[in-house]
């Protein structure tokens, strides 16, 4: 609900209300809040209130820089060593994105978008790339939803993913790096409009 914008930035959450809304005891709610805090989706303020973290311009800029450094390198690494099975998994995710786009299922589209980028990190077989990318991709998903023009940008994202896949197909490290960098810069530009 936080990621999808159903719970607004800055909103105060209470264990009691979450417990009642979800129909579960407060113990799993408490555990979930700890996980949300770890994922930087909520913070605990000085009054011990659980507050949905607001995404600042600095967060967006920092995420862009980290994403650019991380994902461009990952694309180059993966291009050199991608297996047929990994390539086919990424193709499946892009085809899934196209289907969700046709059906105007934007939440599901974002699930596949997230999975595409996280899989690239996973396939690099570097646990730190993977951990970093999961956090960045989660923030990116929130930013995309809150931008208000997700529908307009999906087609471009799919085309950019296909360019990355072409570089992977040819095991072209530099082409993969360029395609990923272009994708990240264009996403940033589209979000800045």
Longest CA–CA span in the chain (Å) reads 55
| CB-based contact 72:121 (threshold 8 Å) | no
Q: 3-state class of 44 per DSSP?
A: strand
What sign does the dihedral 135-187-85-109 (CA atoms) show? positive
- Which residue do the tokens 């800029």 mark? 61
pLDDT at position 51 is 92
| CB-based contact 10:51 (threshold 8 Å) | yes
Kindly report, residue by residue over 13-36, the tens digit of the pLDDT: 888 888 888 899 989 988 999 988
Kindly report, residue by residue over 86-117, the tens digit of the pLDDT: 999 999 999 999 999 999 998 899 899 999 99
Kindly report, residue by residue over 150-168, the tens digit of the pLDDT: 677 788 999 999 999 999 9
Cα 116 from Cα 138, distance rounded (Å) = 12
pTM: 0.81
């Amino acid at each position: 609900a936080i990621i999808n914008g159903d719970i607004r930035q800055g909103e105060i959450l209470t264990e009691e209300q979450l417990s009642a809304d979800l129909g579960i005891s407060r113990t799993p709610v408490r555990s979930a809040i700890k996980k949300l805090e770890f994922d930087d989706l909520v913070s605990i303020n000085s009054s011990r209130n659980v507050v949905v973290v607001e995404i600042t311009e600095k967060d967006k800029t920092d995420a862009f820089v980290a994403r650019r450094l991380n994902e461009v390198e990952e694309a180059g690494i993966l291009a050199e060593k991608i297996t047929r099975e990994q390539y086919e998994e990424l193709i499946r995710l892009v085809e899934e994105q196209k289907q969700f786009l046709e059906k105007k299922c934007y939440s599901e589209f974002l699930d596949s978008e997230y999975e595409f980028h996280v899989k690239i990190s996973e396939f690099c077989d570097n646990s730190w790339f993977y951990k970093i990318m999961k956090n960045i991709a989660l923030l990116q998903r929130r930013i995309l939803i809150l931008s208000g023009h997700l529908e307009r940008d999906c087609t471009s994202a799919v085309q950019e993913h296909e360019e990355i896949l072409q570089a992977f197909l040819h095991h072209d490290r530099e082409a993969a790096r360029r395609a990923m960098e272009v994708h990240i810069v264009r996403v940033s530009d589209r979000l800045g409009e």
